[in-house]
Amino acid sequence: MKKPVSFLFSIFIAMLSVVYGQKSVVEDNMADAKATAETKALFYNLKNLSGKGALFGQQDALMYGVGWKGEYDMSDVKLITGSHPAMFGWDLESIAKDGTEENQIQNAEKLKGYCLQAFKMGGVNTLSWHVQNFVTGKNFYDTTKCVSLILPGGEKHREFTRSLDKVALLIKSLKTEKGVAVPVIFRPFHENTGNWFWWGKPFCTAQEYKTLWQFTVQYLRDKKQVHNIIYAYSPDRISGNFANYMERYPGDGFVDVLGFDDYYDFKDLHDEQSIDLAVKSIGQICAYAISKNKVAALTETGQEKLVQPKWFTTVFNKIMNDAEASKISYLMVWRNAHTGHFYSPYPGQQSEDDFKDFYNDPKTIFLKDLGNIYSLKQLGLLPN
């Protein structure tokens, strides 16, 4: 048994308040009041985790790992711990960009298969969107002015809505054989405080960015009637300056998860000042999220190639030992592509033992620790 029974029992007791009269809290604080029952349950259960534990997730975990690709029910995380991560990150780039319709359909079907697989296992899906520049047709790193031109009235607005139509079609198609819509956490236009994407801070005004985000939510939620989405806002590192975080925040009515991405501050365990600053930032975001009945998360982080073997336990302990930062509900690391680009250990890698210690920490939540996180009747954390 990995998790102490007392830990699980306390969470179960806390969840009883949902069943007895607090369901309105969910609807009142979500961006989509018409969200499906499973989507509402996921939102509330993530929110209720605050201060009790954090789900661990990884990008593309089921698709491939170091030395393998396309093998069913495999992940590098599972090869080390015996359990998949609790959260699975995917990207929508391949289904919404220009290209042959046949390729887009094939990519959408492949992505749909992974999302359904993760859901049926009891895991949580989160979708990022490295979307092409609609002005030049080049990739997301092309910073040619774009945002103002894809807003309503802009000359490239129709191109943008065509891509949103593809996103809506994919997410609405995520249904089980019984017709249950699979909830997803949608995290578009991320790291918007940086200068590397066309939606970044130097390339659009704060108001343009807010309008872009708000239009996206309204288009998917109201026009396309997609109701299985939890919306996550995730700028890049804020260096302890919460005003930077809020400068482009699109508003409580359009956001469910408040997160941020931070690789830089966690890249060197010897740089305690940067780590402390990142932990402070997490705490600031947690405090605001909790005050608004939202979910707080570290939406992307990690150390490429894990050159310091104690990275996972050191960083997680720093976060969990902070009174505010410890209230995050989940953290995600990036993908394992090959030996030159990976963020979780693979068998034989020097961080393997540390990652097992991270897995065995009572406050880390992997797939084996989850019961039914899509039910309001229970949080669903069960002992192994």
pLDDT digits (tens, 9 = 90+) for 233-251: 999 999 889 999 999 999 9
Task: For strands 64-65 and 68-69, give the pairing.
Answer: antiparallel
- Domain for residue 377, yes or no? no
Q: What is the pLDDT of residue 105?
A: 87
**What is the average pLDDT across 354-381?**
88
Per the structure block, which two tokens stand in for 226?
Answer: 């997609």
Q: Is the pLDDT higher at 359 or at 94?
A: 359
Residue 383, domain member (yes or no)? no
The mean pLDDT of 361-376, rounded to a whole number, is 95
- Under a CB-based contact definition with an 8 Å cutoff, are residues 22 and 74 in contact? no
Higher pLDDT, 105 or 84: 84
Indicate whether 202 belongs to any domain. yes
Residue 102 falls in the annotated catalytic set: no
State residue 215's pLDDT score: 99
281 vs 267: CA distance, rounded Å: 16
Whether residue 24 has pLDDT greater than 60: no
Global confidence as pTM: 0.93
Token output for 281: 């930032």
Q: Confidence class of residue 5 from pLDDT cuts 50, 70 and 90?
A: very low
Q: How far is CA 161 from CA 13, 22, 96, 97, 217, in A?
A: 45, 37, 10, 12, 12
What pLDDT does 98 receive?
60
pLDDT for residue 341 is more than 80: yes
**Three-state DSSP state, 53:** coil
Residue 347, domain member (yes or no) = yes
- Flag whether pLDDT at 112 surpasses 90: yes
Which tokens in the block code for residue 359?
A: 């897995």
| Residues 143, 195 contacting (CB under 8 angstroms) | yes
Average pLDDT over residues 285-299: 98
382 is a domain residue: no
User: Catalytic residue among 191, 208, 324, 352, which?
Assistant: 191
- Residues 228, 251: Cα–Cα separation, whole Å: 20
- Identified catalytic residue from 93, 101, 109, 300: 300
- pLDDT at residue number 371: 84
The whole-angstrom separation of Cα 34 and Cα 55 is 25
Q: Is residue 379 part of a domain?
A: no
Nearest to 259 by CA among 331, 206, 366: 331
* Total number of domains constituting the chain: 1
Whether 169 maps to a domain, the answer reads yes
Q: Kindly give the pairing relationship between strand 184-188 and strand 229-233.
A: parallel
Exposed/middle/buried for 32, CB within 10 Å: 0-12, 13-18, 19+?
Answer: buried
Residue 367 CA to residue 384 CA, distance in Å, equals 10
Determine whether 191 is an active site residue. Answer: yes
Mean pLDDT, rounded, for 89-100: 84
| pLDDT above 90 as % of the chain | 86
The pLDDT tens digits of the residues spanning 9-19 come to 344 434 444 44
For residues 86-99, average pLDDT: 88
- CATH code where residue 281 lies: 3.20.20.80
Query: Residues 232, 186: contact at Cβ < 8 Å?
Result: yes
pLDDT for 104 equals: 86
The range of the structural domain enclosing residue 99 comes to 5-369
The two structure tokens encoding residue 216: 């996206």
Mean pLDDT of 193-216: 99
Q: Is the pLDDT of residue 49 over 90?
A: yes
pLDDT at position 26, please?
57
The string of pLDDT tens digits covering residues 178-199 is: 999 999 999 999 999 999 999 9
Closest CA to 126 of 61, 48, 200, 180: 61
